[in-house]
């Protein structure tokens, strides 16, 4: 399969998909969540910056029962508010992870499992690749990326070895980069120590976190009252960001706690729904779902 949708039934159930209502899937991937929306009678606007995802979903949704009920757009969901214009949504879903197709396609350079060119772009037309980041970014910027996006304790060791290696010749392949990272980490018993560094570079290449808070608030603004936004996150940086935004949107009084009474008159915009994680059975079938967390909010 192109990509196995995570928590599909829970997401469709949480969205409360109704016939003829409009839903946004801001991260199409293989179209699993979108197909669930269409099968339950919803109309769909699907967005993905990866042309492979758009092409896959065009084929997947080419059925008489789906005709004239979906629009697929190659773009970034961070532009959703401009894309939607005056349209209001009855629900929306974002899957912040990378698709299995992107991981398993060696030409994308996303995985340390293959020896391939350093790329990591979700959008093949994007100007910045992993090769550019690793071979041209200055020392301080590489340190910041590895420490903040990868939460990598041995960032200095890795950057020191990057600078040394690229001084002789460019670091051109995923294997070269993975070997360099492993050499930089003292704990030789750790399984896949290169995972954090690959995550950090991928986040930088695809600008995954910058502007994500605004994008979530923009999509929330486009919801009708009673509509729900579901977001799948996969690592601590995403978990924290989504949690904080949802807490902010659902907060009542935002006065300084030292004040004797509320003077802000701030009203919550949304209501938090129960956090959900994949079952042990789903993880057994799809091990990549193990790190997923589903957070949802209903607009008041």
Residue 30, pLDDT score? 94
Q: What are phi and psi of 15, to 5 degrees?
A: -70, -20
For 223, residues 6+ apart whose C-beta sits below 8 A from its C-beta are 88, 89, 90, 91, 92, 229, 299
In angstroms and rounded to an integer, the radius of gyration of the C-alpha atoms of the chain is 21
Give the DSSP letter of residue 31: S
- Model confidence at 266, pLDDT cuts 50, 70, 90, reads confident
Instruction: Give CA–CA dist 137/135, Å, rounded.
Output: 6
Instruction: Give CA–CA dist 291/235, Å, rounded.
Output: 7
pTM of structure: 0.92
Residue 114, pLDDT score? 93
pLDDT tens-digit series, residues 196-210:
999 999 999 999 999
- Model confidence at 256, pLDDT cuts 50, 70, 90, reads confident
Of all residues in the chain, what percent carry a pLDDT higher than 70? 100
């Amino acid at each position: 399969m192109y990509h196995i949708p995570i928590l599909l039934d829970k997401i469709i159930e949480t969205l409360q998909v109704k016939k003829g209502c409009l839903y946004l899937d801001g991260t199409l991937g293989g179209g699993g969540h979108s197909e669930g929306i269409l099968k339950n009678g919803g109309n769909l606007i699907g967005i993905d910056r990866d042309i492979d995802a758009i092409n896959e979903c065009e084929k997947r949704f080419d059925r008489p029962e789906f005709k004239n009920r979906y629009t697929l757009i190659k773009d970034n969901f961070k532009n959703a508010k401009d894309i939607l214009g005056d349209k209001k949504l009855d629900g929306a879903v974002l899957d912040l992870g990378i698709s299995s197709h992107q991981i398993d396609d060696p030409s994308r350079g996303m995985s340390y499992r293959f020896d391939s060119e350093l790329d990591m772009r979700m959008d093949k037309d994007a100007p910045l690749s992993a090769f550019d980041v690793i071979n041209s970014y200055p020392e301080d910027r590489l340190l910041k990326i590895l420490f903040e996006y990868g939460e990598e304790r041995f960032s200095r060791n890795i950057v020191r070895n990057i600078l040394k290696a690229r001084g002789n010749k460019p670091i051109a392949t995923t294997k070269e980069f993975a070997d360099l990272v492993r050499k930089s980490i003292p704990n030789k018993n750790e399984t896949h120590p290169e995972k954090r560094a690959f995550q950090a570079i991928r986040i930088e290449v695809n600008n995954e976190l910058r502007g994500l808070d605004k994008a979530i608030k923009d999509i929330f603004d486009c919801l009708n009252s009673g509509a729900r936004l579901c977001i799948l996150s996969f690592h601590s940086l995403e978990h924290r960001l989504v949690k904080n935004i949802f807490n902010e949107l659902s907060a009542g009084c935002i006065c300084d706690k030292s004040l004797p009474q509320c003077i802000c008159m701030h009203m919550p915009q949304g209501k938090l729904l129960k956090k959900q994680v994949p079952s042990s059975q789903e993880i057994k079938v799809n091990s990549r779902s193990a790190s997923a967390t589903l957070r949802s909010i209903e607009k008041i």
